[in-house]
Amino acid sequence: MDKLVIEGGKPLSGTIVIQGAKNAALPILAASMLVEGEVTIDQVPRLLDIDVMLGILRELGCRAEHDDQTVRLDTTGLHSSHIPEALMRQMRSSIFLMGPLLARFGEVTIYQPGGCAIGERKIDLHLSGLQALGAEIEEDGSRIVCYAKKLKGAEIHLDFPSVGATENIMMAAVLAEGLTTISNAAREPEIQDLQHFLNRMGAKIIGAGTDTITVEGVEKLTPCAYQVIPDRIVTGTVMVAAAATRGEVTLLNTCPSHLTSLIHVLRRAGVQIAVDGDIIKVGAALRPKAIDRIVTSPYPAFPTDLQSQVMVLLALADGVSVMKETIFEGRFKHVDELARMGADIRVDLSSAFIRGVSRLYGATVEATDLRAGAALVIAGLAAQGKTVVEQVHHIDRGYDRIEQMLGRLGARITRFSPVPNNTVVP
């Protein structure tokens, strides 16, 4: 497994371009299975999760090429709607294929994606949403088979505004007969991006970005070319890294309006932020101020995907901060690792109490999941001395060669890959 070695204590400085959004690209790739023909998607980041998704699409008979940031798909040869269990288990986002494959083939077989490092992550809202559209669902152990000769529009209320369930239901409803309304829908920007993509192919969807989405079913879609939005979580990660290292960075290709809650939090911590169109400038010369309470909640509130990164900043702040996690029950795994670096954080149920220290120290730590890993990288950049972050494959799921991106901002960060067994070392 790869490791990142970081020589900390150097403020980040410079300009970088932000990658396309993983969480927008994944459902858009899945939604491409609704149409027959060639689809081109731009600004698709080179990530492990994207590789897994493209691997599944190829397995189902789709032609898929990822050249730099562009994915070219040809869905003409798509012949199967059975996602092999081994591939399904590699990535939870394979669940996104359920709605599109069901709509296109009238049946789909998937396997429970199972729990993961950050929590239980159920799929009941995905299943009940598809059932409301007329799908019959048979569960046999971890195998789930879904049938529907023709999906029919319905009024669906989500008990919780799940991002994935909202997207899955939208995708299934596009080719359904009649009108579908999703109430208490998730409002994340990636859902708006999916709406724009589907509408460009001829779908009739309105309301994404609000809590009520209406989908008027159409007979057929037409292939298109599309560019995904910039990644707000990668943007936020670099903003926090700049603040934690007391650096000064300029980020190009951002969507500042998608980061209102983070910008508000960082300003409260004393970080200087200037926004100009799609450019964000971040500067921090002083020690951050503590923040009494940050609560993660569905968009537009503070995102769970930035909780661990901001915790690193607060671990260095002057005073005591509190962060409450309300989305995933297992999302404080970075706390023990940060403690190895000298952080003073106590977790009580879903809240973390963070007593800021004046300095973190380099240590060997382990990335337990994607965003926890990103937080440890930030901690390593801000810490005094050398930090080794292990299990980097988690970070590679969401950050396109993180060491290169941060290296462009002057970070001293190097990736080490294990020497393969059959290599003769002279």
Q: Binding-site residues, please? A: 22-23, 92, 305, 327
Preceding amide of 300 cis, omega within 30 = yes
Measured CA to CA, the distance from residue 216 to residue 294 in angstroms comes to: 38
Measured CA to CA, the distance from residue 157 to residue 182 in angstroms comes to: 6
* Numbered residues of the known binding site for UDP-N-acetyl-alpha-D-glucosamine: 92, 305, 327
Closest CB to ligand UD1 among 122 and 152? 122
Closest CB to ligand UD1 among 30 and 290? 30
Measured CA to CA, the distance from residue 287 to residue 270 in angstroms comes to: 8
Closest CB to ligand UD1 among 124 and 344? 124
Amino acid at 288: P
Shortest distance, CB of residue 75 to ligand UD1, whole angstroms? 21
Cα→Cα distances 244→89, 143, 303, Å: 35, 45, 19
Shortest distance, CB of residue 29 to ligand UD1, whole angstroms? 11
Shortest distance, CB of residue 96 to ligand UD1, whole angstroms? 8
Closest CB to ligand UD1 among 194 and 360? 194
The residue number whose beta carbon is nearest to ligand UD1 equals 164
Shortest distance, CB of residue 364 to ligand UD1, whole angstroms? 27
Closest CB to ligand UD1 among 234 and 316? 234
Measured CA to CA, the distance from residue 171 to residue 194 in angstroms comes to: 9
Shortest distance, CB of residue 186 to ligand UD1, whole angstroms? 6
- Secondary-structure breakdown of the chain: helix, strand, coil percentages, each rounded to the nearest 5: 35, 30, 40
3-state secondary structure of 193: helix
Residue (of 198, 25, 203, 169) closest to 99 by Cα position:
169
- Whose tokens are 């901001």? That residue is 310
Amino acid at 18: I
Cβ atoms within 10 A of the Cβ of 66, count?
18
146 is catalytic: no
Q: Which residues of this chain interact with ligand UD1, rule CB under 6 A?
A: 23, 26, 93, 119-126, 160, 162-165, 186, 190, 303-305, 327-328
Closest CB to ligand UD1 among 325 and 366? 325
Closest CB to ligand UD1 among 305 and 403? 305
- Which backbone phi and psi does 20 adopt, to 5 degrees? -70, 160
Q: What pairing do the DSSP bridges indicate for beta strands 225-227 and 38-42?
A: parallel
Tokens matching residue 28: 């858009």
Half-sphere exposure (CA, 13 Å, Cβ side) for 113? 20
Measured CA to CA, the distance from residue 198 to residue 213 in angstroms comes to: 13
Sheet containing 143-147, strands listed edge to edge, beginning at the edge strand earlier in sequence: 107-111, 143-147, 136-140
Categorise residue 391: left if φ over 0, alpha if ψ from -120 to 50, beta otherwise. left
- Whose tokens are 């559209």? That residue is 133
The catalytic position among 62, 116, 146, 224 is 116
Measured CA to CA, the distance from residue 378 to residue 308 in angstroms comes to: 10
Amino acid at 157: H
* Numbered residues of the known binding site for phosphoenolpyruvate: 22-23
- Give me the active site residues, please: 116
